[in-house]
Amino acid sequence: MGNTVIGIFGNRNAGKSSLVNSLSGQEVAIVSDVPGTTTDPVRKRIELPGIGICTVIDTAGLDDDGGELGRERVARSLQAAEQVDMGIIVLSGNEFPPAAETLTALLKRREVPFLLVHNREDEEPMNEAFAAKMCERFGAEPQRYSCRKATIEDRDALTSAIRTRLTDGLLRPRPMFDGLVKPGAHILLVCPIDSEAPEGRLILPQVMAIRSILDYGGVAQAVQQEQLAAEIETNGKQIALVVTDSQVFARVAAIVPESIPLTSFSMLLARSTGSLDVFREGIKAVERLRDGDRVLMLESCSHHANCEDIGRVKIPNLLQKHCGCKLEFEMVSGLDPIEGDLSRYALAVQCGGCMVTPRQLRNRIAYVVESGLKVVNYGMLLAYISGIYDRAIKPLI
């Protein structure tokens, strides 16, 4: 389950940080009897048996009443809930705090699995009335636990419950080449090596594509765009599909004959994560862009931008040229929260999302769509403004 993200939520002093330490078997989080010790979401990398390496987000208390700053801390905790594959809600004292109502509603809306843990069983055990009430509401009573006196058996039982909930609710994307590759089929991958390519390695979508092709018994061959024409001339009859980096879409399309299907890594990712139809609807907003409209660029990773940056330079220039108007672009990087009213934007453009979990990407797109804002991804937008959208989408629908 690599790259799993688990959020720990609850009131101040409920034992959230203590739970992180107890699960990891290390003092990785600061623990204090003073309420509000954790003031911002803190990410820790730990390993859980049967789950593997995962990122645990230790959040601030949901009941923080410290004025404006306290409200900001609570807001950040709820924002963290948009980024998790699973939530653990720490309870104590046979109480289900009001703020947990907001949190569970959010997790349910995002279809994120969560587990209730009644901490401090050694101080105030969970009574039967509370257990029955929680069981009626959530289908199971909270897991009984005590961070201070947990035995190995207790930790194993809690880890097993986490693993079960994760497995039942894990969002599994569709394999990139599901239904697209037959055993023995030759898939040609166009992988530019430019200033934005990572030193000594391929970018993640290219690696994912190679693995998926091999999983389906296909033959994966990678070339740079300078080698493409010669490869098509020599082995064109064997090639079942060409997949290109979106940045060279137009040049590749001019070389690859219409008889050979063509698409991009970014569009395959959209199909894999279940966002393809949302993006197909979003592409219609491009022709409605007018002078002064704002475009929200969603870049789900953090990197050093340069003059060839696809999201900050290339797409803005190409989109404005296509529309014949001056647009304003705003960038949100990584998993930073999208601030303010989204109605001020005319379009959102999401990157492929290869550096975040499938649920993080889906939640971000869902948040944008719920606001009424149309969204498309980098690859589909580049195909559209290059005039090859219909050709590039055809293999995927």
Could you tell me the CATH number of the domain that includes residue 246?
A: 3.40.50.11420
270-326 per-position pLDDT tens digit: 999 899 999 999 999 999 999 999 999 999 875 555 546 788 899 999 999 999 999
Q: What is the reported pLDDT for 98?
A: 86
Answer yes or no: is pLDDT of 38 > 70: no
143 with 226, same domain: the answer is no
288 with 250, same domain: the answer is no
* Residue 96: closest CA among 82, 120, 116: 116
Report the chain's mean pLDDT, rounded to a whole number. 88
Q: What is the reported pLDDT for 357?
A: 81
Coil, helix or strand for 176?
Answer: coil
Domain-located, residue 396: no
Tokens of 136: 């009626």
Answer yes or no: is pLDDT of 69 > 90: no
Q: Which of 226, 245, 270 is the last residue of a domain?
A: 270
Extended strands (E) in the chain: 4-10, 42-48, 52-58, 86-91, 114-118, 143-144, 186-190, 219-223, 239-244, 262-264, 294-299, 328-333, 347-350, 375-377
Alpha carbons 33 and 336: distance in angstroms, whole number:
30
Out of 7-21, 28-42, 48-62, 381-395, least confident range: 28-42
Written as one string, the DSSP assignment of 285-348 is GGGG--TT-EEEEEE-S-----TT-IIIIIHHHHHHHHHTS--EEEEEETT----S-GGG-SEE
190 with 309, same domain: the answer is no
16 with 67, same domain: the answer is yes
Answer yes or no: is pLDDT of 39 > 70: no
Average pLDDT over residues 368-374: 94
266 with 288, same domain: the answer is no
Higher pLDDT, 377 or 307: 377
| Alpha-carbon separation of residue 211 from 19, 20, 205, 216, 358 (angstroms) | 37, 34, 10, 9, 17
42-63 per-position pLDDT tens digit: 888 888 888 888 899 999 888 8
Alpha carbons 164 and 182: distance in angstroms, whole number:
34
303 with 381, same domain: the answer is yes
Asked if residues 223 and 231 have their Cβ atoms less than 8 Å apart, the reply is yes
104-121 per-position pLDDT tens digit: 999 998 889 999 999 999
pTM: 0.76
For the chain, what is the domain count?
3
Alpha carbons 206 and 247: distance in angstroms, whole number:
14
Q: Which domain holds residue 100?
A: 4-169
Higher pLDDT, 177 or 43: 177
211-230 per-position pLDDT tens digit: 999 999 999 999 999 999 99
Alpha carbons 223 and 241: distance in angstroms, whole number:
13
* Residue 376: closest CA among 352, 340, 345: 352
253 with 216, same domain: the answer is yes
Q: What is the reported pLDDT for 19?
A: 92
Asked if residues 276 and 290 have their Cβ atoms less than 8 Å apart, the reply is no
Tokens of 178: 């599901």
Between β-strands 42-48 and 52-58, what pairing exists: parallel, antiparallel or unpaired?
A: antiparallel
30 with 115, same domain: the answer is yes
CATH assignment at residue 34: 3.40.50.300
CATH assignment at residue 369: 3.40.50.11410
Phi first, then psi, for residue 34 (nearest 5°) are: -80, 120
| Alpha-carbon separation of residue 241 from 3, 26, 104, 236 (angstroms) | 30, 50, 44, 10
- Categorize the per-residue pLDDT at 1 as very low, low, confident or very high, splitting at 50, 70 and 90: very low
16 with 148, same domain: the answer is yes
Answer yes or no: is pLDDT of 34 > 50: no
Listed in sequence order, the DSSP H helices in 81-203 are 98-109, 128-138, 152-169
Q: What is the reported pLDDT for 70?
A: 80
Domain-located, residue 175: no
Q: What is the reported pLDDT for 316?
A: 95
Domain-located, residue 333: yes
Percent of the chain clearing pLDDT 90 (strictly above): 59
Alpha carbons 64 and 127: distance in angstroms, whole number:
26
148 with 211, same domain: the answer is no
Name the CA dihedral angle for 181, 184, 188, 191, rounded to a multiple of 10 degrees. Answer: 90
Answer yes or no: is pLDDT of 388 > 70: yes
Domain-located, residue 178: no
266 with 331, same domain: the answer is no
Domain-located, residue 99: yes
* Residue 44: closest CA among 6, 74, 86: 6
Count other Cβ atoms within 10 Å, centred on residue 270: 28
Asked if residues 97 and 62 have their Cβ atoms less than 8 Å apart, the reply is yes
311 with 336, same domain: the answer is yes
Q: Which of 235, 270, 305 is the last residue of a domain?
A: 270
- Contact partners, residue 331, CB within 8 Å, separation at least 6: 297, 299, 311, 312
Query: Whose structure tokens read 């693995």?
Result: 211
Domain-located, residue 350: yes
Answer yes or no: is pLDDT of 172 > 80: no
Residue 240, Cβ density class (10 Å: 0-12 exposed, 13-18 middle, ≥19 buried) = middle
